[in-house]
């Protein structure tokens, strides 16, 4: 039996790599919310939060489509909310207290990485040609991972 996390990641992987039609957005929203209930606590408080979400779709001024998880009422993508949240990225006192060795640079970098992870769960029309509706060639993936590892090692030895 799969874990709730596995189901959630599978659903997010599917919908973040291919464009969903306007007619399918409600079904997609229901599936993502259902997967979240499998991964999260099913307390009444959590269920209320999950009910406020939906799989949103919008296009920018040039017509490029972006789809992803957001707050239904505000028609706000979670990634956009997070982006605004970190605009002023000074370390909050409660975080300084819990992680006293964390530097401002480390904190800012961590926020950026969280943003990268959050946006990876969205569909971006401009990436559709490389994401190929979620088809992943494992052999090519391994080559890319090895190249990325070599790139990081090279940077560690001689940062640019």
Q: What Rg value do the Cα atoms of the chain yield, rounded? A: 18
pLDDT bin (cut points 50, 70, 90) of residue 9 is very high
Provide the residue ranges of all domains of the chain, joining segments of one domain with +: 4-145
The confidence score (pLDDT) of residue 136 equals: 86
**Burial per residue of 96-127, b for 16 or more beta-carbon CB atoms within 10 angstroms, e otherwise:** eeeeeeeeeeebeebbeeeeeebbebbbbeee
pLDDT bin (cut points 50, 70, 90) of residue 129 is confident
Distance, in Å, from the CA atom of 59 to the CA atom of 44, rounded to the nearest integer, reads: 34
- Tell which wins on pLDDT, 74 or 89: 74
Give residue-wise pLDDT tens across range 78-128.
999 999 999 887 899 999 999 999 999 999 999 999 999 999 999 999 888
């Amino acid at each position: 039996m799969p874990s709730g996390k596995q189901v959630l990641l599978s659903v997010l992987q599917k919908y973040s790599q291919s464009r969903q039609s306007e007619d399918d957005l409600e079904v997609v929203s229901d599936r993502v919310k259902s997967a979240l209930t499998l991964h999260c606590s099913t307390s009444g408080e959590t269920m209320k939060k999950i009910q406020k979400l939906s799989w949103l779709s919008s296009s920018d001024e040039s017509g490029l489509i972006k789809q992803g998880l957001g707050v239904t009422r505000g028609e706000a993508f979670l990634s956009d909310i997070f982006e605004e949240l970190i605009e002023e990225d000074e370390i909050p006192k409660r975080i300084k207290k819990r992680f006293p060795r964390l530097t401002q640079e480390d904190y800012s970098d961590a926020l950026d990485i969280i943003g990268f992870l959050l946006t990876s769960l969205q569909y971006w029309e401009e990436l559709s040609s490389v994401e190929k509706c979620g088809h992943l060639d494992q052999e090519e993936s391994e080559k890319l991972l090895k190249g990325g590892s070599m790139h990081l090692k090279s940077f560690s030895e001689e940062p640019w």
